Structure 1
Amino acid sequence: MELKRAYDVRIIGPNCLGVMRPSIRLNATFANRMAAPGRIAFISQSGSVCASVLDWAARANVGFSSVVSIGSMVDVDFADLIDYFGADPETRSVLLFIEFIREPKRFMSAARRFAATKPIIVVKAGKTPEGMKAASLHTSAVIGENMIYQAFFDRAGVVRVDEVSDLFNCAEILAMQAPPRGPNLAIITNAGGAGVTATDALVAKGGGLARLSDETIRELDGVLPYYWSHSNPIDICEDATVDRFRKVLETCLKDPNIDGYLVIFSPIGSADSTETAKLVVEVSKEIDKPFLTSWLGEDNVREARDILRQNRIPTYSTPEQAVATFVYMYQHARNLELLYQTPEELPINIAPNRKRLQRIINKAIKENRQTLTGQEAREFLENYGILTFRTQTVKTAKEAAEIASEIGFPVVMKICFADTAYGAVESNLMMNLTSEQQVEKCFLELVDLAKRHLPPSKIEGVIVQPVLSGGYELIVKSKRDPQFGSLIFFGIGKAGVELYNDVAVGFPPLNQTLARRMIEQTKAYKSLWEKFGGNQSMSMRHIEETLVKFSHLVTDFPQIVEADVSPLFFNGKKMVALNANIVLDLKKVPKKTQPYGHLIIRPYPTRYTSRLLLRTGEEIVLRPIRPEDEPLLFELFETFSPQTVQLRFFQLVKDMSHHTLARYCNIDYDREMTLVAEKSEGGRLLLIGMAKLVVEPDGESGEIAIVVGDPWQNRGLGSMLVDNLIKISKDMGLKRIFGEILAGNEKMIHICYTKGFQIRKIDEETCLATLDLSKA
């Protein structure tokens, strides 16, 4: 590392195989054979896995843009390489073998930037507890829980697969075919047993069998023998001919319930394997849905497999491989949807008294009190719109009996602690008490139990609450992970969470789409959905909104390391927190805490949104760019004259590709900022200009660039954009900003000069404008 600092170089390794770049014949590895050139970048922490993949690829005729073995990652890590290969024109997909991730926040940022345009596919070693222990011993690193890694990869838009072979299967099909719109696969086979094993694998992987429409079944009745399965998988029987395959496929292509097709062929009966393969090639051209095949056998089907591969139709030795690849495709499509989910810092309809809540935290820190009291914790929840259960705290057995009679039996009783950290005392909850005598007796037992464990000063009294019935108990928690920052956990029912580990993980802040995805991930989701009958949508919305509100509470206060509002009682119409517990990090002094340093994904920075007036009096909205702005950004580009394009991009650009536009719109707000000027015209919104700030690797300087659409130039927008970039740069803690300007761009040079930039010529055609932010 001393050499790195002295010579400003990057280091890969140690404990690695090295680097290979086949296109330039660079082999800086211990491998004695150069890989074939290709479009796949393969990056592995394990040198032995890298070596075995190179050996396999040579036999399978698979090529690489690069192969990198990164070992212990003292310097260059996965995030650096994703950034590099994401921008590499020779790379079409990035495959990773991961044992641990050193800096999850940087990995998330890099992956989210490129996942929409280049598939990133991962094998993560250590899925089981034993595997995680082995990986940690091998790498001397802290290994996160498997389910946290899974949620992390999903949120990053990355596909996680089970085996190294799946990496290449998945990369192959994502390069060949459109992703499925849903998880519903139609299986068509002349081998009934293979259809059954494919179905088992499909369901186990999280996919589903397409439900054939009534019309499809009627048509198939006229094509297949009377004893056919009349359902999916479609067993077309051992005596199937090529013509029967054709008629069945053509019928299924018309069924809107089907999201993808798997044809399993066994070399039995009269159907010729090669002719059937040619038929599949012909038929698959008629529809824009995934088409996968599995030709069973070896010598008898070799020619058929070659025909399928030559025509960009993936084929697999086993149905299980084909099914797994289809499910991975669907998961990839689902994960890409998450890239476009950028929650705001706080929904408009929530207005917590943050100053009041911060004073509560400050008071607890000053008192060296790690845990908030129950009342303080309930105040946090209520400020974020989460209803809490109104409780009665009593000091005597007689008072307890009177309150129980007043609120109605049955009741629940528990100790009220001055410090909720003592809530873990065993048997501190008495349930379903139905008489005054039971209440008085239980009061004395609870107090006696508490006194045996706690000092009297920690016992405030006994809480009496009515019993709630006819609903569900939901588990909602947050905990700070040393690697992944603050996490949200959701489960349904204590037994489901504790006994069956039926819990979903999410990264705050959430919006309703992300919250619903968490709910859907639980095994108990289906029973919850069915419980509320015809009121499902409204019921789900209640749960989603509560998760969103809770996530923003966690987002707004980096001092909170743990928050638990379990159980949350929900009866389909009302959500009530029966308990509240908040734990603080006493080391995080509020004034010195980064606003979102505890989060792995920075929320959409609403605070940089403002309404301004152009010189003409027209109102605009200046705001950070969003992923869904891509169509509007394309329209803005269409307004640029050749001169404007030349001044902004230093070259003539004929069109903006989806790849380029997606990169402009999907940004990491921690390391760059793009502001867009939005204007309403003719009843629709338009983008009329944009300004970009990219933080340099040194973290102290940033490069800026600005462009305004031709119809809206000379109205003062360029000056406003520069002013706002200066403000944001200061907020980010930068010391200086700079921008290159063509010498002929006199308007931009004048704007920068008036803002205090130092202007100097780089060459005859280009100037450099630099602003010392300490003087701005």
Structure 2
Amino acid sequence: MSIRHLDSLFQPASVAVIGASERAFSVGGTLWRNMRSSGFTGPVFPVNPKYRELGGQRCYARVAQLPQVPELAVICTPPATVVDLVQQLAALGTQAVVIITAGLTAAQKQAVLDAARPRLMRILGPNCVGLLAPHAHLNASFAHIPARPGQLAFVSQSGALVTAMLDWAEARHVGFSCFVSLGEHADVDFGDMLDYLANDPHTRAILLYIEAIDDARKFMSAARAAARNKPVIVVKAGRSEQGSRAAASHTGALAGADEVYDAAIARAGMLRVDSLEQLFLAAEVLTRFRAPIGDRVTILTNGGGAGVLAADAAAAMGVPLATLGDATLRELDAVLPANWSRGNPVDIIGDAPAQRYVDALQVLARHPEEAGTILFIHAPTAIVPSVDIARAMVPAIQPAGQRPVPVIASWIGGPAVAEAREVFVRAGIACYDMPEQAVAAIGMLQRYAHNQAELTEAPPADGAASAPAPDAERVRAIVRQVLDSGRDMLTEPEAKAVCEAYGVPVVATRTVPADPAAAAAEAARLGFPVVLKILSEDISHKSDVGGVALNLQDAPDVHAAAERMLERVRKVHPDARLDGFTVQQMVRLPQAQELIIGASIDRVFGPVILFGQGGTAVEVMKDSAMALPPLNAPLARALIGRTRVARLLEGYRDVPPANLGAVVQTLEAVSRLLADIPEVAELDINPLLVNHERAVALDARVRVSADRPAGAAHFAIQPYPSELVETVDWWGQRVTLRPIRPEDEAAHRDFMDGLAPEDLRMRFFHSRRRLERGELARLVQVDYTREMAFVATAPAPDGREQTLGVARAITDPDNQVAEFGIIVRPGLKGKGLGQLLMARLITTLRAAGTQRLAATVLAENERMRTLGRALGFTETSDPADPAVVHLSLALQPAKTPAGRGGARRKPRDAV
């Protein structure tokens, strides 16, 4: 149901408290008192057959006796009563129910959902603390204290954390737009709340406490949409989870659930923090810091000790300090005393008057690329009041008509700096008590910026356009053969064949019987030196049982190594089936790094990809990172950059930089393999050897499953819908109609720049200046789960692909209504291109279950109105604004809309 009737939870006209009581310290009693004392202006009805009145107000014995239908009902009665109560409320027409009651069985929960679904009644809970909406004066919870009004929304799966957070926030005067306890989230879940809060005008940032996610694609789609509008900050429980499951691959052992959540949170453009304190540090900086975050920091302070502490904190947190250039130092020399620090931290000396602060700040602001983010630290002195410094600095930080200077402040002290701190807070400047807190906030900002960059990527499932097409049929044949034989593990030669079919370079490998003489003979034919490995379905990690021999120089070496290997394996693994040996060339790549690239299936998020430092000690080193497919080159590079080995790949001393492009291509190949071959359950390429020249896979391991756990349909993020690409004949030329993709940014820039001002006014209702890069990126990087943009493209005279027109639609979270817009290149109007694009858009939305397509157009836009009539749209005028008309087209047969559901429904796979 997504956001359907969620306004009845947070802004109800009337409330019934079922199970209201006068007993002190009871849930029903606390709920009743909270509702009565919250200042809620609508009627509140107590329901409990034990009382005739409560607090001087009539108490009703049954729901049926209520004088009017409550828009919201709160239930805190025994589990056996809940289903019947929900059925009665649904029949009455109540639109939302909070079930405080714990202990409902699975059958009872399903019965509740079955009763609610036909009426689209929303259920919060069961087993929850309830909700607080301070702006609506609503406290439908049994929390011990109310919430202050504010602009932060907090959504939690933990009831205990709700009350603890309320206590923590009250002590710090932190306010909230809403406070929600999801409980067992039978209906309303994180995806629903993100969709609702993303457009809530009272909410400037969303704080989540997550223990588990049920519907990954729904969550990721909602999270990506919300994170485009406002900061979303997550505390995820379970970071210290122990005990990786036993798995056939290193990837399976390394891919813990927490690492996958890290990858999902980053990919959705959210920020993960580790504690409640960090949650509010992050909320402070993300909602107040408006300038671009730099990748370096310059510390500006009046105290040397405070600057050193901040520098130490920056080093510990991985926040790099800026190196000031000669020109900057000369400018600072001109405004600072001769004994200033002449470096970073910029110590302007404790006797600094207000103007010295301003002068130093303005010098740094003139060199933004060099200085990066400025951390301002002030300790109070008797020389000049701190508040005077604050008042002088605010105009310098926020110069009129200019972009603000990227400043984060730390006013160290108590009463002496309280007024100065308040001046900064009122000006909207992020402000902290201690330098370490400010440095932590800067680190969060940098991570958030990286995550936001990943959010804008929507790569194709089939990898880079320049990559060679894989031989998917060859892989499918191998998989069928393996499964038909009753196996799930591919042999090493089979696994390497799979890699090779997808463009991953592998070392030549031969298979021979478990005969030392046969191994020696094959090695002679292959050429020395060679590597010999045991071949057994029962032995996954061959080096653990002495099943690998390297750098064998001649046939006697191979013969002797094979005999030792057989003896060793029979001793340590006597039950293992010995299928033979593999013989491969000994690859020598000078100055190479050993890497691992792998894939596994997460229970929640489906297919995931791993990258890190490889070799036999991979599980000890634990230098790896996870990502959700699909991947493109920027996402692959971001994944590599989250590991320590990335710094080695950049080159050091006499070691040149590695061929990173070859590593990226391998990651994209694995992403494409997971999309194409649903049977892939685990994959290891370890080691992938890479140096400055090339990369080569020395070993590979693949496990498959007839349950088909992979495939693009199981990706948590909807990949590029390549099945919607088609080529048509149009006025004597071949035109491609396809969904837009991130790689279209340059072509879309040319397209938008070539539009006439009148075309822009008809489309956007005003003439627009040139689009900012961020806005342009938003147009080409769409979430195909809830948005679709079709472009028509054709080759330009210079051979490049050019955009001829675009039709775009954005659906609401319930998939009820999609708002569309269309624009065509000048000179091509009236030739049917717009009709082609709109027909494609209508067909796709109809297949996705969207109920209605609509648009508001200028009444003078006769061309758009004519197109609408030709496509069957109905047209209505707007009494409030005669300058516009509304177009509408029903896409589905008339019926009661089912909506797009919560955890109990599967998410849509397109649009």
State the TM bucket, normalised to the shorter chain: 0.7 to 0.9
Q: State how far apart, in whole Å, the 1-side matches of 2:809 and 2:551 are.
A: 61
Task: Decide whether aligned partners of structure 1 residues 361 and 693 sit closer, same or farther in structure 2, where only a CA change above 3 A counts.
Answer: farther
Aligned residues of 1:259 and 1:289 also touching (Cα < 8 A): no
Aligned match of 1:543: 663
Q: State how far apart, in whole Å, the 2-side matches of 1:246 and 1:367 are.
A: 76
**Which sits farther off after the overlay, 432-441 or 688-697?**
688-697
Task: Decide whether aligned partners of structure 1 residues 747 and 279 sit closer, same or farther in structure 2, where only a CA change above 3 A counts.
Answer: closer
Aligned match of 1:690: 807
Aligned match of 1:674: 789
Match of 2:375 among 254, 258, 262: 262
Match of 1:154 among 266, 279, 285: 266
1:430-441 correspondence runs (5 A): 430-434=549-553, 436-441=555-560
Aligned residues of 2:413 and 2:433 also touching (Cα < 8 A): yes
Shift of 1:377: 1.7
Letter in 2 for 1:87: N
Identity value in percent: 33
For the residue of structure 1 that corresponds to 2:424, the secondary structure is helix
For the residue of structure 2 that corresponds to 1:621, the secondary structure is strand
For the residue of structure 2 that corresponds to 1:474, the secondary structure is strand
1:116-195 correspondence runs (5 A): 116-129=228-241, 145-195=257-307
Aligned residues of 2:527 and 2:585 also touching (Cα < 8 A): no
Aligned residues of 1:636 and 1:688 also touching (Cα < 8 A): no
Aligned match of 2:222: 110
Q: State how far apart, in whole Å, the 2-side matches of 1:20 and 1:410 are.
A: 72
Aligned residues of 1:405 and 1:436 also touching (Cα < 8 A): yes
1:406-454 per-position Cα deviation (integer Å, ceiling 9, x unaligned): 6665543211336775857611112344555443221112223445546
1:613-652 correspondence runs (5 A): 613-614=729-730, 616-617=731-732, 620-626=735-741
Aligned match of 2:508: 390
Task: Decide whether aligned partners of structure 1 residues 61 and 502 sit closer, same or farther in structure 2, where only a CA change above 3 A counts.
Answer: same
Task: Decide whether aligned partners of structure 1 residues 181 and 36 sit closer, same or farther in structure 2, where only a CA change above 3 A counts.
Answer: closer
Task: Decide whether aligned partners of structure 1 residues 461 and 121 sit closer, same or farther in structure 2, where only a CA change above 3 A counts.
Answer: closer
Aligned match of 1:557: 677
Q: State how far apart, in whole Å, the 2-side matches of 1:689 and 1:392 are.
A: 53
Aligned match of 1:210: 322
Task: Decide whether aligned partners of structure 1 residues 681 and 88 sit closer, same or farther in structure 2, where only a CA change above 3 A counts.
Answer: farther
Letter in 2 for 1:259: G
1:195-247 per-position Cα deviation (integer Å, ceiling 9, x unaligned): 22212222333321011112223344455566654321223334444444344
Match of 1:507 among 612, 628, 634: 628
Q: Which has the higher relative contact order, 1 or 2, with Cα contacts under 8 A spaced 6 or more apart?
A: 2
Q: State how far apart, in whole Å, the 2-side matches of 1:327 and 1:385 are.
A: 38
Aligned residues of 1:693 and 1:725 also touching (Cα < 8 A): no
Aligned match of 1:648: none
TM-score, length of structure 2 as denominator length: 0.73
1:442 partnered with 2:558: no
1:84 partnered with 2:218: no
Aligned residues of 1:400 and 1:464 also touching (Cα < 8 A): no
Task: Decide whether aligned partners of structure 1 residues 391 and 739 sit closer, same or farther in structure 2, where only a CA change above 3 A counts.
Answer: closer
Shift of 1:531: 4.3
1:276-355 correspondence runs (5 A): 276-286=389-399, 288-346=404-462, 347-348=464-465, 349-355=467-473
For the residue of structure 1 that corresponds to 2:597, the secondary structure is strand
Letter in 1 for 2:696: V
Q: State how far apart, in whole Å, the 2-side matches of 1:577 and 1:766 are.
A: 57
Aligned match of 2:726: 610
**Which sits farther off after the overlay, 736-745 or 179-188?**
736-745
Letter in 1 for 2:809: K
TM-score, length of structure 1 as denominator length: 0.85
Aligned residues of 1:394 and 1:400 also touching (Cα < 8 A): yes
Shift of 1:565: 1.4
**Which sits farther off after the overlay, 51-60 or 358-367?**
51-60
Shift of 1:695: 8.9
Q: State how far apart, in whole Å, the 2-side matches of 1:176 and 1:207 are.
A: 20
For the residue of structure 1 that corresponds to 2:659, the secondary structure is helix
**Structure 2: gaps (5+ residues):** 1-108, 246-254, 860-864, 880-885, 895-911
Aligned residues of 1:18 and 1:68 also touching (Cα < 8 A): yes
**Which sits farther off after the overlay, 604-613 or 312-321?**
604-613
Task: Decide whether aligned partners of structure 1 residues 722 and 368 sit closer, same or farther in structure 2, where only a CA change above 3 A counts.
Answer: farther
For the residue of structure 1 that corresponds to 2:179, the secondary structure is strand
Q: State how far apart, in whole Å, the 2-side matches of 1:469 and 1:334 are.
A: 33
Letter in 1 for 2:311: T
Q: State how far apart, in whole Å, the 1-side matches of 2:295 and 2:558 are.
A: 53
Match of 1:480 among 591, 601, 609: 601
Aligned match of 2:113: 4
Two-structure CA RMSD over aligned residues (Å): 3.9
Shift of 1:761: 11
**Which sits farther off after the overlay, 475-484 or 160-169?**
160-169
Letter in 2 for 1:76: V
Aligned match of 2:703: 583
Shift of 1:670: 3.7
For the residue of structure 1 that corresponds to 2:309, the secondary structure is helix
Task: Decide whether aligned partners of structure 1 residues 204 and 402 sit closer, same or farther in structure 2, where only a CA change above 3 A counts.
Answer: same
Letter in 2 for 1:53: M
Task: Decide whether aligned partners of structure 1 residues 291 and 369 sit closer, same or farther in structure 2, where only a CA change above 3 A counts.
Answer: same
For the residue of structure 2 that corresponds to 1:351, the secondary structure is coil
Aligned match of 2:344: 232
Letter in 2 for 1:85: L
Aligned match of 1:136: none
**Structure 1: gaps (5+ residues):** 134-142, 646-651, 754-758
1:287-319 per-position Cα deviation (integer Å, ceiling 9, x unaligned): 633211111110111111111212222221111
For the residue of structure 2 that corresponds to 1:334, the secondary structure is helix
Aligned residues of 2:293 and 2:445 also touching (Cα < 8 A): no
Task: Decide whether aligned partners of structure 1 residues 245 and 390 sit closer, same or farther in structure 2, where only a CA change above 3 A counts.
Answer: same
1:525-573 per-position Cα deviation (integer Å, ceiling 9, x unaligned): 222212486853x722222122212221122112101011111111221
Shift of 1:340: 1.8
1:413 partnered with 2:532: yes
Task: Decide whether aligned partners of structure 1 residues 156 and 633 sit closer, same or farther in structure 2, where only a CA change above 3 A counts.
Answer: farther
Q: State how far apart, in whole Å, the 1-side matches of 2:808 and 2:542 are.
A: 52
1:452-463 correspondence runs (5 A): 453=573, 458-463=578-583
For the residue of structure 1 that corresponds to 2:312, the secondary structure is helix
Shift of 1:187: 0.8
Letter in 2 for 1:378: K
Aligned residues of 1:414 and 1:462 also touching (Cα < 8 A): yes
Q: State how far apart, in whole Å, the 1-side matches of 2:589 and 2:583 are.
A: 19
Shift of 1:122: 1.5
1:248 partnered with 2:365: no
Q: State how far apart, in whole Å, the 1-side matches of 2:296 and 2:112 are.
A: 55
Shift of 1:697: 5.0
Q: State how far apart, in whole Å, the 2-side matches of 1:187 and 1:643 are.
A: 49
Match of 1:28 among 115, 131, 140: 140
For the residue of structure 2 that corresponds to 1:545, the secondary structure is helix
Letter in 1 for 2:115: A
Match of 1:15 among 127, 132, 137: 127
Between the two proteins, the alignment pairs up a number of residues equal to 743
Letter in 2 for 1:483: V
Shift of 1:392: 3.6
Q: State how far apart, in whole Å, the 2-side matches of 1:644 and 1:297 are.
A: 54
Aligned residues of 2:852 and 2:888 also touching (Cα < 8 A): no
Letter in 2 for 1:475: I
Task: Decide whether aligned partners of structure 1 residues 406 and 3 sit closer, same or farther in structure 2, where only a CA change above 3 A counts.
Answer: closer
For the residue of structure 2 that corresponds to 1:6, the secondary structure is helix
Aligned match of 1:367: 485
Aligned residues of 1:626 and 1:665 also touching (Cα < 8 A): yes
Aligned residues of 2:301 and 2:378 also touching (Cα < 8 A): yes
Q: State how far apart, in whole Å, the 2-side matches of 1:240 and 1:495 are.
A: 58
Aligned residues of 2:629 and 2:715 also touching (Cα < 8 A): yes
Aligned residues of 1:706 and 1:721 also touching (Cα < 8 A): no
